[in-house]
Amino acid sequence: MYPPGEQPPGGNMEKFWSKTEQQGECIVWIGSRDKKGYGVIRVDKKMHQAHRFIYQLTIGDIPNGYVIHHECENKSCIRVEHLTMMTASEHSSHHLRNRKPRPPKTHCTQGHEYTEANTYEWVKADGRKGRYCRTCHNAGEKRARASGNRKPRNSYRIR
- Grouped pLDDT means (10 residues each) for the chain, 159 residues: 48 83 93 91 89 93 94 92 93 78 83 91 86 90 81 50
SS3 44: coil
Diameter over CA atoms, the chain: 79
Question: What is the Cα–Cα distance from 156 to 9, expressed in whole angstroms?
Answer: 74
Q: How many domains does the chain have?
A: 2
In this structure, the answer to whether residues 64 and 107 fall within a common structural domain is no
In this structure, the answer to whether residues 86 and 102 fall within a common structural domain is no
Q: Provide the residue type at 118 as one letter.
A: N
In this structure, the answer to whether residues 110 and 60 fall within a common structural domain is no
In this structure, the answer to whether residues 80 and 113 fall within a common structural domain is no
pLDDT reported for residue 4: 46
pLDDT reported for residue 108: 87
pLDDT reported for residue 115: 93
pLDDT reported for residue 156: 46
In a domain, 152, yes or no: no
In this structure, the answer to whether residues 59 and 74 fall within a common structural domain is yes
pLDDT reported for residue 15: 85
Question: What is the Cα–Cα distance from 84 to 97, expressed in whole angstroms?
Answer: 17
- Owning domain of residue 102: 98-143
pLDDT reported for residue 45: 86
